[in-house]
Structures are given as structure tokens and as C-alpha cells.
Structure 1
Amino acid sequence: MLARARDARHREASRVTIIGAVIDFLLGVAKLLAGYFAHSQALIADGIHSLSDLLTDGIVLFASRQSSHGPDAEHPYGHGRFETIATVGLAVALVLVAAGIAYDAARRMFEQDVVSEPGVLALVVALSSIAGKEWIYHYTMRAAKRHRSEMLRANAWHSRTDAFSSVIVVIGIAGAMAGFTYLDAIAAIGVALIIAHIGWSLGWNALKELADTAVDERQRGLLRESIMGVDGVKDLHMLRTRHAGGQVLVDVHIIINPHISISEGHHISEVVSHRLLKEFEDVTDVTVHIDPEDDEEEAVSLSLPMRGEMLKRIRRQLEGHTEAGRIERFTLHYLAGKVGVELLMPFDDASQPDSCRDIERQFREALAADPLIESLRVYWY
């Protein structure tokens, strides 16, 4: 299912980007030709700007292809970060575009002869560019929202910056035709600041993602509520999340009854994982750790002997008890820095309730001196 989702995401991102690239190319050529014949230096510069977008479109196509690959040996969590890196690149491009527009505007404020007397053709092409770029923006943004792609969102805003720059050209051309040569430069600086702000916001969010920033408190609360709604989950801790190219990875420790079987505990963890993947569209990977107690602050049982050594210890203390040979199964519970011992013994025809209780008493007395053993239970069948 996740592989199909990645493929669909890649196909739509590629389709959107290719359509945008074709329109960028056609608009770029139209601006260059119209700028040349209509004597508009601003429109020629805007045409070069549109053609330069083909480079960012190429970056988006490459990143989309890479991020569509599933997990492998070198990338066990998938390739979603390729999209994040591309978003950073596009954000840098937006800031550079803003800087270029601001520089050009400042230069034109002091060089009045840069803006000549363009014709109506330049105005028509510039207006057409605004309409075309706005269409690309909305088309790409819809795809970005459907697939929660910050990379496509960044590319959509990059397209809108072209519309902004074309607005500057329209103002410049209209101002030049009306004699207000400073009007386009002032508008250009204002738009440059808007573009720089957009670039900074997109880049900062992508950098936070690269730094494994968690989801916000609202979504964290929803995740916690969903986990606690699973039957068998007593509590949770160490709920950790991070983003990877529009996806959310979740890691959580759940506390369950320490006396249930391993298979039941595993089943509870599987239900938690499935529930999060089903209820949250952006969650694509869930790791659930099973804890019998809250060990977030300190693992108090970590220094206790492992099972093999602990069984040797128990058997040594039960030596001399003939009934110890009838023990069929040992179950050890490591809780609160102590070991709880459960024994399974057969109840045969010769066994009587009094003799069973006597055996249990003898075993408890034999193990009572061990400081590591917290309790003993004997189960008869």
C-alpha cells in the first residue's frame, strides 16, 4: 500500500512539474521575443528568469524520483529526505530570486534610462505571463496539498514569484509609458521582500525537518489519544516523532500488564501500529516498544542476572528438595529491580492440596534469603 502511495505521489509530482516546465519554456521564449521587439529590458530579464526555472523543475523531478523509492539497506527509513533537501534548495532559489529583483530594482532607481518606452505587445505578454504562472501555482499547490509535499509547495511558490516578477514588469511598463519611472522599482522591492519571506519560511521548515523536529503538540496529543484507546495499553512514554518528506515516523514505548504472554504483548503492539497507520494519513512508519513498567527515567532491572544465570541460582537454592525435579517450567518477571518467579508443576493422583501447599512453603523458604527474588508463585495443573 505504501509503495503504491509513493508511486502515485511520484507520478503526480512528475506530471505537475513537467507541465509547469513546458509552460515556463513557452513563456520564457515569448517574453524574450516580445521584450526584444517591444524594446523592454524588464521583459527580457523576466524571460531569462522564467527559463531559469527549468533548472529548479529539473531538481524537483530528480528529488521526486529519488524520494519515491522505498526503504533499502542504505536508507532503511526510505528516501523522503531527498524531497526535504530539494525544498531547501528551492527555498535558497527563492531568496536569490528576491535578492536579484531587489538589486535590479535599486539599480533602475538610479539609472532612469534603463526603462525605455515599451509598446503594447510587452504589456500583453507580461499580463499573459501573470495568468499562466498563477495557473501553474494553483495547479501545483493542489497536488502539494493532496500529497503533503513541501517540495511541490516550494515549487508552487517559486512559480508564483514569476507571477510577482511579471506584475513588476507590468507596473514598470505602465509606469514608463505614463512617465513614472520610479513606480516599478518601488513595487519590485516590496515584492522582493515577500518572496524572500516565503523562501525563508519554506527553508526554515525544511531545515527543522532535517533536524528531526517533532510534530506539533496538537498532533502529538491525537497520537497519544489513539494509542491509549487500544485495549491492553496501560500507559505510554517516550513518544517520539519526526518528519521525512511529508511523512511522519513514530516511535513509542507502551506499558502493558507484565504478566501476560509475549505473544499477547506483541499482538497489542501490532494493533497500536496498525491503528496509527490507519487513522493518520501522514504516518508511514511506526515502531512500538513493549514495556512491563515505566523505565523512561531509569532501567532499574538492567543489572539483574540474565535468565540462564538466574535459573542456575534458583536450582542451587532448591537442591535437596525432591519435588524440585518435577518443575516443568520457570517463568521470570523482571520488575522494579527484582525477579518474580513462577513455577509450573503437575498435579498427579498422589498430590493432595495439603502436600501442594507444603511444597510451596518449602520452596518459598529456600528462596527467601535471595535478595534478588521478590516473590514466588506455584501453578499446578
Structure 2
Amino acid sequence: MDRSSAVRHVGGVVFAANLVLVVAKAGVWWATGSIAVGSEAVNSLADVAYSLVVVGGLYLTTQPPDFEHPHGHERIEPFVSLFVAVGVLAAGAGVIWSASTSLLSGSYGRSAGLVGVVLLVGTALGKYALYRYCLRAAHDYHSPAVHATALDNRNDILTASAALAGVLGSAAGYPILDPVAALVVALGILYTGYEIIRDNVNYLVGAAPPADLRDEILERALAHPDVEGAHDVVAHYVGPEVDVSLHVEVEGQMTLHEVHDIETEVIESVRELPEVDDVFVHVDPKGLGEWKEERRAR
């Protein structure tokens, strides 16, 4: 399956799973009045909303290049992730309001009973499966939007566990634990929103990729047998992908054809890195005075 089909398939699976969960949680919430389960229903409703945004956004980002977007549409993807973050933060704020109102008024929800316990345990297990599924897809296809979805599903495991603690505490005769658990759920929701924003801002501002990727780029350039050194290596994010520019240093007596072949081979080698999109290589002869002995290949 190619990247476009794969990431859209992930979005569809997550949307369907969240839709099932929101219906189930809303039903238990309506039947029992449990605030902890209600907060989980709100969380899942937000998940459904952002899943729709992700599905639509991934459809746009996976469209092929056209005249107006010759490098494709992948740069839209970090914006999709930020929409996810906004929805997550709004859900967290809503749960805080509901739980705080309950605590201040002293009107705690009823215990969700055995059905609530089964629902929340099932939620935690299902979210773990979705987390692993999305994380693997995000790694395989280098998708920040799918990675944001994985983070949200991972956090949902914790929030479902907190809600479960509230349900069990309420059943044990401590109803105040129900809204307290909802507050814990809300804090987890807010932290997920923060994580998503933090991870995607770098894609939007053109930050440098991790140091190990920059080192791998330099090593691949220096691995060419005719490259004696490299300098001015610049790598930065353009959307979720990395653009690279660098100068390589060769002997000054080579023909233009030989230099062209070296340039092409270095470009192809660096471009094999899955995170890298475009590579720009400038070839310098020794005679220009840009030779850097400390950068010579070993």
C-alpha cells in the first residue's frame, strides 16, 4: 500500500473506532449519570471531530503534485495536526468545567456500575491497539498527523484508566472520586494537546531535524569515494519532510561529466533517507580555497 492510501486508511479506522466509543460511552453516561464516564464521552466526541478533520486533511495532503504545488501538498499536514490539538484542548477545557461544577455544587454523578467498568476497560484495550497501529503507520510513512493521532490514543489509555478509578471509587462509596477522576482525565487531555502543538511547530517554522539525521546526511555524502570533504550542510523541515543543501569537495581537475556524476550519486544516496525530500548539492573544487582538512573523509 502506498503512503497516500495507507495514511487515509489509518484516518478511516480511527474515525470508525472513535465513533463506536462515543456512542457506547454516551449511552452509559445517559443511563448512569457518571461524570467520569461522561468526561470520557466528551473526550471521544472530540476524537470523532478531529478524526473527521484528519481524514479530510490527509486526503488533501496525499494529493499528487500539481502546477500550483509542484512539491506536493504534504506541508498541509502540520496544520491538520494543529486542528487536532485545538479540538483536544477544547475537550479538556469542557471536562474541567463539568467536573469543577460538580465538585463545587456537591452534586456527584452516580456509579456507572459493572457496565461502566467493562466499557472503560474495553476502551483502554482498544485505545492501546489503536496507539500501536497509528504509531507504526506514523513511523512507516513519516506522517505527523498520524503521529498526533497515536499520541492522543496513547493518552486515552491513561484517561480511561483514571475514569475507571473514579467509577470504582464511586461504587465503593466515595462518589467524590467520580469528578476528581474527570479532572485527571482533563489534565491528560490538555497534555496531549500540548504534545501535539510542540511536535508540529518545528515542522511549520523550518527547524532543523534531529542531530542523528544530520549526521547520517553528512556520512552519506562523505561515503562517496571521490568526495574528500563536505561543508555548509543545511537540513530543515519543509512540512513533515526534510530539505537538504550541502557543498561537497572534490579534486579540482575532474571533468564536468565526472563532477555531474558525483553530484547525482550524492543526491541519490542522501535522498534514500525516508525523511528526506529534496537534496541540493554544490560541488567545490580544491582550488577555490574552500577545502577543509578537518572535514576530510576518513
| TM-score grouping bracket, smaller chain normalisation | 0.7 to 0.9
Tell me the SS of whatever aligns to 2:234. strand
Change (3 A) 1:238 1:160: same
- Residues 46 and 165 of structure 1 are in contact (CA less than 8 Å); yes or no, is this contact kept in structure 2? yes
Residue among 24, 27, 34 paired with 2:18: 24
State the Cα deviation string for residues 337-375 of structure 1 (Å, max 9, x = none): xxxxxxxxxxxxxxxxxxxxxxxxxxxxxxxxxxxxxxx
1:121 aligns with 2:104: no
- Residues 133 and 160 of structure 1 are in contact (CA less than 8 Å); yes or no, is this contact kept in structure 2? yes
Taking every aligned residue pair, what percent have the same amino acid on both sides? Answer: 26
Kindly state the Cα deviation for residue 268 of structure 1 after the two structures are TM-superposed: 0.9
Instruction: Report the equivalent of 1:157.
Output: 151
Residue among 32, 35, 58 paired with 1:38: 32
Change (3 A) 1:179 1:111: farther
Residue among 71, 87, 95 paired with 1:77: 71
Q: Give the partner amino acid of 1:74.
A: E
Q: How do 1:80-95 residues align onto structure 2 when only pairs under 5 Å count?
A: 80-95=74-89
Tell me the SS of whatever aligns to 2:263. helix
* Aligned equivalents of 1:123, 1:112: Cα separation in 2: 23
Note the residue ranges of structure 2 that are not aligned, 5 or more in a row. 292-298
Q: Give the partner amino acid of 2:193.
A: G
Kindly state the Cα deviation for residue 41 of structure 1 after the two structures are TM-superposed: 4.4
RCO higher in structure (CA 8 A, sep ≥6):
2
Residue among 206, 221, 224 paired with 2:200: 206
* Aligned equivalents of 2:216, 2:149: Cα separation in 1: 30
- Residues 169 and 177 of structure 2 are in contact (CA less than 8 Å); yes or no, is this contact kept in structure 1? yes
State the Cα deviation string for residues 10-63 of structure 1 (Å, max 9, x = none): 212222221221121122112222222234344344324323322211221222
Change (3 A) 1:295 1:98: farther
Larger radius of gyration: 1
Kindly state the Cα deviation for residue 271 of structure 1 after the two structures are TM-superposed: 0.8
Tell me the SS of whatever aligns to 1:284. strand
* Aligned equivalents of 1:140, 1:221: Cα separation in 2: 28
Kindly state the Cα deviation for residue 241 of structure 1 after the two structures are TM-superposed: 0.9
* Aligned equivalents of 2:226, 2:181: Cα separation in 1: 62
- Residues 61 and 74 of structure 2 are in contact (CA less than 8 Å); yes or no, is this contact kept in structure 1? yes
TM-score by length of 1: 0.68
1:182 aligns with 2:176: yes
Instruction: Report the equivalent of 1:272.
Output: 266
Residue among 54, 65, 68 paired with 2:59: 65
State the Cα deviation string for residues 61-107 of structure 1 (Å, max 9, x = none): 22222222343333333322111111222233333333333333333
Instruction: Report the equivalent of 2:280.
Output: 287
Aligned residues: 289
Tell me the SS of whatever aligns to 2:28. helix
Q: Give the partner amino acid of 1:240.
A: V
- Residues 46 and 87 of structure 2 are in contact (CA less than 8 Å); yes or no, is this contact kept in structure 1? no
State the Cα deviation string for residues 151-205 of structure 1 (Å, max 9, x = none): 1111122233444333333222222222223324444444433443333233122
Kindly state the Cα deviation for residue 250 of structure 1 after the two structures are TM-superposed: 1.1
Kindly state the Cα deviation for residue 124 of structure 1 after the two structures are TM-superposed: 2.5
Residue among 96, 114, 123 paired with 1:102: 96
Kindly state the Cα deviation for residue 295 of structure 1 after the two structures are TM-superposed: 6.3
Instruction: Report the equivalent of 2:224.
Output: 230
* Aligned equivalents of 1:225, 1:285: Cα separation in 2: 17
Change (3 A) 1:52 1:216: closer
* Aligned equivalents of 1:41, 1:195: Cα separation in 2: 16
Instruction: Report the equivalent of 1:254.
Output: 248
Instruction: Report the equivalent of 2:163.
Output: 169
Q: Give the partner amino acid of 1:274.
A: E
Q: Give the partner amino acid of 1:17.
A: G
Change (3 A) 1:202 1:41: closer
Tell me the SS of whatever aligns to 1:254. strand
- Residues 38 and 121 of structure 1 are in contact (CA less than 8 Å); yes or no, is this contact kept in structure 2? no
* Aligned equivalents of 2:71, 2:32: Cα separation in 1: 54
Change (3 A) 1:23 1:94: same
Higher helix share: 2
* Aligned equivalents of 2:210, 2:177: Cα separation in 1: 43
Instruction: Report the equivalent of 1:333.
Output: none
Change (3 A) 1:238 1:263: same
Kindly state the Cα deviation for residue 270 of structure 1 after the two structures are TM-superposed: 0.3
